């Protein structure tokens, strides 16, 4: 099945197949209305997926394991069926997907199998020792999956019966060519929702960006975008550029809250070891999702050219 997920130029964003990943936790429950709202907005189908973790059956003997997996899948199907009776799924086509094994590997395989355009998942917001002992699977998936992820953290909220109206979107950038894919999605989402787009550059050291102290934020950002060949604007979208100095994650969260931003779009660096990354601090997308009052749309960056 051919993938048609990449927004390019003035092509409208296409989110036709959404994978809602649930582990039946309260965090997953918070993500449910977002999955339904996006599906309704883009007239998409939802694949409601639950993956039984390998550590729940790995210690069993083979015969017992097969029986136990079958029982867990039956239970999971019943729980998903209960979810699907809610008004969230009125008039939204859906399919239940059950599997077992390594959650990240299985989820990435499902993305390819069903040509998924977007993963929607709750983000537990674990940090420190809790994250080391219980890895952030949502973060690993965002680093490894071929499609973007919409991460809903513990502080995000939406009226369960409301549509998702995005009026203000924030996109932080380091002006790297690899961030082009994320910027394309930021433009496409801003256009699809007729939203105001903030393009933000945060430098920790003013001496790394000396020209920014002599130029307006608009002129400085446009010059940097032009320098690395990134688009400065798209048809029907005229972004507002912002430049700040200090700790990036803190300032991005402050700007998002001050401007009542409803979505943060951020590029996620590719990781050769996403399982290891899920136990360590970062990346920024996960940290932002853990603390932001809005969801985070994480787009895996393109590989740097050799």
246-293 per-position pLDDT tens digit: 899 999 999 999 999 999 999 987 654 444 444 434 457 778 888 899
Distance CA 163, CA 12 (A): 20
Closest CA to 115 of 270, 5, 12: 5
C-alpha dist (Å) from residue 263 to 120, 276, 298? 13, 27, 10
DSSP 8-state assignment for residue 90: T
Domains of the chain as residue ranges with CATH: 17-152 (3.40.50.620), 168-300 (3.40.50.620)
Closest CA to 116 of 268, 266, 14: 14
Residue 43 pLDDT grade (very low, low, confident, very high; cuts 50, 70, 90): very high
Residue 39 pLDDT grade (very low, low, confident, very high; cuts 50, 70, 90): very high
Q: What is the pLDDT of residue 208?
A: 67
Token pair, residue 77, equals: 């199907």
Angle between helix 26-42 and 180-193 (nearest 10): 70
Q: What is the pLDDT of residue 287?
A: 85
Residue 96 pLDDT grade (very low, low, confident, very high; cuts 50, 70, 90): very high
* Owner of token pair 């433009």: 187
Distance CA 200, CA 67 (A): 53
Non-local (6+) Cβ contacts of 208 within 8 A are: none
Q: What is the pLDDT of residue 130?
A: 36
| Per-residue pLDDT reduced to its tens digit, 44-83 | 999 999 999 888 888 888 889 999 999 999 999 999 988 8
Rounded mean pLDDT of the chain? 82
Q: What is the pLDDT of residue 57?
A: 87
Residue 184 pLDDT grade (very low, low, confident, very high; cuts 50, 70, 90): very high
Q: What percent of the chain has pLDDT over 70?
A: 79
| Per-residue pLDDT reduced to its tens digit, 186-216 | 999 999 999 999 999 998 776 666 666 678 8
Task: Say how many CA atoms lie within 13 Å of 61 toward its Cβ.
Answer: 2
Tell me the Cα Rg of the chain.
20
Q: What is the pLDDT of residue 212?
A: 66
| Per-residue pLDDT reduced to its tens digit, 136-153 | 466 667 766 789 999 998
Distance CA 284, CA 264 (A): 11
Q: What is the pLDDT of residue 132?
A: 32
Q: What is the pLDDT of residue 133?
A: 33
**3-class SS of residue 78:** helix
């Amino acid at each position: 099945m051919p993938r048609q997920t990449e927004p390019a130029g003035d092509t409208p964003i296409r989110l036709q197949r959404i994978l809602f990943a649930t582990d039946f936790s309260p965090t997953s429950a918070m993500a449910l209305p977002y999955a339904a709202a996006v599906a309704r907005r883009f007239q998409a189908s939802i694949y409601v997926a639950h993956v039984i973790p390998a550590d729940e059956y790995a210690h069993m003997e083979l015969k017992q394991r097969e029986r136990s997996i079958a029982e867990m899948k039956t239970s999971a199907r019943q729980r998903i069926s209960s979810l699907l009776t809610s008004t969230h799924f009125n008039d939204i086509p859906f399919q239940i997907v059950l599997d077992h094994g390594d959650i990240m590997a299985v989820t990435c395989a499902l993305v390819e199998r069903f040509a998924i355009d977007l993963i929607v998942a709750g983000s537990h917001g674990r940090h420190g020792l809790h994250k080391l002992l219980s890895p952030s699977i949502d973060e690993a998936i965002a680093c490894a999956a071929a499609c973007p992820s919409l991460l809903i953290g513990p502080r995000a909220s939406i009226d369960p019966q409301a549509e998702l109206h995005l009026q203000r979107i924030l996109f932080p950038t380091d002006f790297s060519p690899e961030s082009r894919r994320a910027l394309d999605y930021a433009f496409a989402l801003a256009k699809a929702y007729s939203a105001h787009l903030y393009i933000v550059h945060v430098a920790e050291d003013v001496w790394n960006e000396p020209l920014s102290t002599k130029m307006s934020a608009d002129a400085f950002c446009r010059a940097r975008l032009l320098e690395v060949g990134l688009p400065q604007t798209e048809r029907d979208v005229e972004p507002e550029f912002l430049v700040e100095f200090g700790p990036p994650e803190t300032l991005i969260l402050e700007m998002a809250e001050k401007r009542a931003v409803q979505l943060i779009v951020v590029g996620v660096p590719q990781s050769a070891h996403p399982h290891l990354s899920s136990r360590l601090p970062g990346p920024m997308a996960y940290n932002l999702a853990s603390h932001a009052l809005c969801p985070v749309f994480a787009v895996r960056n393109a590989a740097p050219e050799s």
